[in-house]
Every structure is written in C-alpha cells, then in structure tokens.
Structure 1
Amino acid sequence: MPQHVAVKGVGVDSKTRCRHYHSEKDIIAIKFKCCNTYYPCHLCHEETTDHEPIRWSKDEWNVKAVLCGKCRNELTVLQYMNCQSVCPYCQSSFNPGCQTHYHLYFEG
C-alpha cells in the first residue's frame, strides 16, 4: 500500500484536484524539484510559494515525481510521459491535456 504523500495547493481534494484543474481526470500531482513538494499544478505552486519553479532535467526523468491521485502510487517522470494518460498501477485515466504543460515541469 502506498504511503500517504502530502499535496499542497489551493483547494486540493483527496484525489489531488485543485481550484485550477478539477475535472474527473485531473488526478495527478507533480513534485516540484525546487522544493521537493507535490502540487496539483503550476498555478498552485506559483500562488503558494515564494520561489521560482525548477524543472526536472532529462537526466532526472527516472525520479519519482508524479503522484496518481486515485491509487497514490508515485510514477517516475518517464513512466508518466509514456503511460498514454493511464495510470500504470490502477488504470485510472489522467487528463491528456496535461501533456501541453510538460514544458513547465520537465526540461525537453
């Protein structure tokens, strides 16, 4: 059973949805490298911290930095980028639109 992982942000629910992104499929959180803390989105990080985000570099894509809000398993960046918007552990669907934000979290 996965350990409880805290997710900070604005209006975060039990499945990691926040005030900014709260559809049925918005169930991932990203660990920000700069503060080693999970947030549902870049806007939550921006609103609740006093520092600039640091993206995960390509040679760090084996780090567990994505949390499934349904089963609470952590995925590596590479697992997340290759999962085709489906959790490899519980088969829950992730929002495919999140791919358009990869550049905010991960260096290309």
Structure 2
Amino acid sequence: MYGLQLGEQGTCEHYHSEFDIAGLKCRECQRFYACYQCHDDLEKHQFVPTAKQSREPAVLCGHCGNLLTFARYKEGHCPSCGSAFNPKCALHESVYFS
C-alpha cells in the first residue's frame, strides 16, 4: 500500500484512526493507496475510481493484506481477519468507486 506517512496498517497523514485501514485501488495505475489525497500527491494523474461491479479486488485490508471486491468491502469489515473499516469512508465512495 502507498501513502504519505503510511502507518503499519495503512493509515496515512490524512486519515489515521484505527479504522482507516482500507487501501483503495486506482483503476489507472492499479496501485492501492491509503486515500485519494495521498494518491493525487504522489502520482502524476488523479485517482480513477474502480467500477462497483468489478470482480477484481479494489480494496486491500491494511491489517491482514486480504484483497476484497467492492461488495465484500461494503460489509464493513474484513472477512479474513474481522477488522472493521471506517464507516465514514462512505462519504467518499464516489471518489473510489463508480
């Protein structure tokens, strides 16, 4: 996972609560970032959202490294380790998913 001031479980300088552990994949560069702001600061292009219907993993659990589809991510926790994701990420859903 990439980001600015990246913590051990995927937190970054913008989002750093214990629940900010989801890495989101940019469709353009195919890299997982802690947030779109980190992405846009570190890449030469803007974050491009992944299609909600994609069968390809679009989220990386920062706690265990499990890859999730959008549908699995929307369950609110990692199905592998049980770590909860920040429910406030829904406020930015349109940035990460189309």
Residues in 2 aligned to 1:55 and 1:79: alpha-carbon distance in whole angstroms: 17
CA deviation after TM superposition for structure 1 residue 28, in Å? 0.8
How many pairs does the alignment contain? 98
CA deviation after TM superposition for structure 1 residue 63, in Å? 1.1
Question: Hey, which bits of structure 1, 4+ residues long, moved more than 2 A?
Answer: none
CA deviation after TM superposition for structure 1 residue 72, in Å? 0.9
1:30 partner SS: strand
For residue 65 of structure 2, what is the amino acid of its counterpart? R
Task: Check whether the contact 2:53–2:70 (CA below 8 A) recurs between aligned residues.
Answer: no
Residues in 1 aligned to 2:9 and 2:46: alpha-carbon distance in whole angstroms: 25
1:88 corresponds in structure 2 to: 79
For residue 76 of structure 1, what is the amino acid of its counterpart? T
Percentage of matched positions with identical amino acids: 39
2:66 corresponds in structure 1 to: 73
Match of 1:52 among 22, 36, 46: 46
State TM-score, norm by structure 1: 0.85
CA deviation after TM superposition for structure 1 residue 54, in Å? 1.6
CA deviation after TM superposition for structure 1 residue 90, in Å? 0.9
2:60 partner SS: strand
Q: Highest Rg: 1 or 2?
A: 1
Structure 1: runs of 5+ lacking an equivalent? 1-6
Structure 2: runs of 5+ lacking an equivalent? none
1:64 partner SS: coil
RMSD: 1.1
Instruction: Tell me if 1:101 matches 2:95.
Output: no
